[in-house]
């Protein structure tokens, strides 16, 4: 358990340096404020992971992390302004670039299997991803219009 | 552990610097635009670097990279969470839309994917392939029900692999293209982007945000809320509704859409 958290923390910190570098180049945010913002995100993430590990109720990590993150900035939170000030300087898109670089760098392990697959299943995969995105969008559009929200 | 795999982080640093310097590019195509975000280049460059024949990185480094990916996806969830907080009153207002559009997420895979798979001559694999978006929690459902050596198991794995290889790139381009066509409101697209996979959601919502910069963080709040519902609700919905529905439709549709010999067998 202890080594698991040590690994987790070190990966999060290394990725933090990479994210702040990209954030400074691509989005021109001050690096020191962004770094504090990143560290706040790390603390919330670790708290959520700890809750998922130690609470007897079995709910996914994503749930606990979201609960703490949402609570920290919701209108009744005493620290919402502070958290938002710092984390807003750590751009969402700057976070995604290193994440997808890691995703790309892990693709090689799946490529041998990918090459053995038929083109048919690739077409089906495109339909699956398109279907889930487009149908949800259509329903959202209809309901939002009916409610008069857009 | 970290020191052993330092090369992978060095690669990411190089890729991030290159990609952020290249910046966002838009290429008009038909009624929409092809939107290329830094994260898209990052995925593609990373994929090329990890190409086994180039021997630039080792298999264990790819595994370490995959581990870093799943961890950092959680950090993205946190970032979305802090954006959701201030938007809570607005999100509650849009509650009906947020809830109902989940049906699109959970059943959209089957509606489009299953008939197509049957037309292409795919059989029981089609059930595993199309009952959900086929990320890790969905694989667990199939593994428990059918085992991974079954046709259903092969189907779910195949789509999972496709998702890792090109899911994010596809959704990023699709969302950018649909967004630029201005048929849908950015909030609807944002909800649609919450497909339940960290990297695909990031690519899709990032693209929508780039097309509609004036809505910025609101787009991410809607996408994040929708993605949270898809991820948490999906575990139960896919097991109790999506999978039975897919099996039912498979039985009904195979005699109509399947190959001739399968039609006979299904009668």
Please give the torsion angle defined by the CA atoms of residues A55, A56, A60 and A65, in that order, rounded to the nearest 10 degrees: -20
User: What are the boundaries of each domain within chain B?
Assistant: 6-266
Tokens linked to B123: 């059989």
Q: Which DSSP helix (H) or strand (E) runs through B26?
A: strand B25-29
**Chain A residue whose CA is closest to B196:** A132
Digits of tens for pLDDT over chain A (150 positions)? 778 889 999 999 999 999 999 999 999 999 999 999 999 999 999 999 999 999 998 888 999 999 999 999 999 999 999 999 999 999 999 999 999 999 999 999 999 999 999 999 999 999 999 999 999 999 999 999 999 998
Please tell me if residue A8 touches chain B, with a CB cutoff of 8 Å.
yes
What is d(CA B112, CA B105) in angstroms, rounded to the nearest whole number? Answer: 11
What is d(CA A127, CA B145) in angstroms, rounded to the nearest whole number? Answer: 24
B chain contacts of residue A91, beta-carbon cutoff 8 Å: none
CB-CB contact of B114 with B126 (8 Å): yes
B chain contacts of residue A122, beta-carbon cutoff 8 Å: 162
The yes-or-no verdict on residue B37 having pLDDT over 70 is yes
CB-CB contact of A100 with B199 (8 Å): yes
Please report which confidence band the pLDDT of residue B3 belongs to, taking 50, 70 and 90 as the band edges.
low
Distance from CA of A20 to the nearest CA of B (A): 10
Do residue A86 and residue A147 come from a single domain? no
Do residue A7 and residue A56 come from a single domain? yes
Do residue A87 and residue A137 come from a single domain? no
The residues in B 196-255 lying below 8 A from A, measured between CB atoms, are: 196, 198-200, 202-206, 209-210, 217, 220, 224, 226, 228, 231-232, 235
Do residue A122 and residue A80 come from a single domain? no
Q: Mean per-residue pLDDT for B115-123?
A: 97
Domain that holds residue A53: 2-108
Helix B198-211 × helix B186-193 angle, to 10°? 170
User: pTM for this one?
Assistant: 0.95
Cβ separation A103–B69 shorter than 8 A: yes
Residues B146-178: tens digit of each pLDDT: 999 999 999 999 999 999 999 999 999 999 999
The total of structural domains in chain A comes to: 2
Cβ separation B72–A125 shorter than 8 A: no
Q: Mean per-residue pLDDT for B199-217?
A: 96
- Of B4, B7, B16, B214, which to mutate for an interface test with A (greatest number of A Cβ within 10 Å)? B16
Residue B267: per-residue pLDDT? 58
Residues B14-24: tens digit of each pLDDT: 999 999 999 99
Please tell me if residue A5 touches chain B, with a CB cutoff of 8 Å.
no
Do residue A10 and residue A70 come from a single domain? yes
Do residue A19 and residue A67 come from a single domain? yes
Tell me the Cα Rg of chain A: 20
Residue B2: per-residue pLDDT? 57
Residue B266: per-residue pLDDT? 66
The yes-or-no verdict on residue B261 having pLDDT over 80 is no
**Chain A residue whose CA is closest to B51:** A108
For residue A56, the SS3 value is coil
Do residue A97 and residue A134 come from a single domain? no
The residues in A 39-78 lying below 8 A from B, measured between CB atoms, are: 41-42, 44-45, 48-49, 59-63, 65-75, 77
In angstroms, the Cα distances linking B223 to A97, B36, B178, B229, B238 are 18, 19, 15, 10, 20
């Amino acid at each position: 358990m202890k080594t698991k958290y040590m690994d987790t923390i070190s990966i999060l910190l290394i990725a933090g340096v990479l994210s702040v570098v990209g954030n400074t180049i691509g989005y021109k945010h001050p690096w020191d404020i962004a770094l504090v913002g990143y560290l706040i995100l790390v603390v919330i993430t670790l708290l959520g992971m700890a809750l998922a590990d130690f609470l007897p109720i079995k709910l996914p990590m994503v749930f606990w992390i979201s609960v703490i993150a949402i609570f920290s900035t919701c209108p009744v939170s005493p620290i919402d302004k502070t958290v938002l000030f710092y984390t807003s300087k750590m751009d969402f898109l700057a976070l995604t670039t290193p994440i997808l670089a890691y995703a790309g760098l892990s693709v090689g392990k799946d490529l041998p299997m990918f090459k053995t697959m038929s083109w048919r299943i690739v077409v089906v995969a495109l339909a699956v991803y398109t279907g889930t995105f487009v149908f949800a969008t259509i329903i959202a559009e209809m309901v939002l219009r009916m409610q008069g929200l857009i | 552990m970290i020191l052993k795999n330092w090369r992978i982080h060095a690669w990411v640093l190089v890729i991030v610097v290159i990609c952020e310097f290249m910046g966002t590019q838009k290429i008009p195509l038909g009624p929409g635009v092809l939107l290329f975000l830094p994260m898209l280049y990052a995925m593609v460059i990373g994929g090329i670097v990890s190409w086994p024949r180039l021997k630039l990185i080792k298999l264990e480094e790819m595994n370490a990279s995959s581990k870093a990916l799943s961890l950092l996806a959680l950090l993205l969830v946190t970032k979305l969470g802090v954006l959701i907080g201030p938007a809570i009153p607005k999100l509650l207002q849009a509650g009906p839309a947020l809830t109902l559009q989940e049906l699109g997420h959970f059943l959209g895979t089957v509606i489009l994917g299953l008939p197509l798979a049957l037309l292409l001559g795919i059989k029981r694999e089609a059930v595993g392939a199309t009952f959900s978006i086929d990320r890790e929690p969905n694989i667990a459902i199939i593994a428990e029900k059918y085992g991974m050596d079954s046709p259903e198991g092969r189907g779910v794995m195949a789509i999972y692999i496709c998702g890792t290889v090109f899911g994010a790139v596809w959704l990023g381009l699709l969302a950018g293209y649909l967004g630029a066509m201005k048929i849908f409101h950015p909030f609807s697209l944002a909800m649609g982007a919450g497909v339940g996979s960290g990297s695909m959601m990031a690519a899709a919502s990032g693209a929508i945000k780039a097309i509609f910069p004036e809505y910025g963080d609101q787009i991410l709040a809607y996408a994040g809320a929708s993605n949270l519902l898809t991820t948490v609700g999906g575990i139960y919905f896919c097991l109790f509704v999506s999978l039975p529905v897919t099996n039912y439709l498979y039985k009904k549709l195979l005699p109509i859409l399947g190959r001739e010999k399968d039609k006979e067998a299904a009668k």
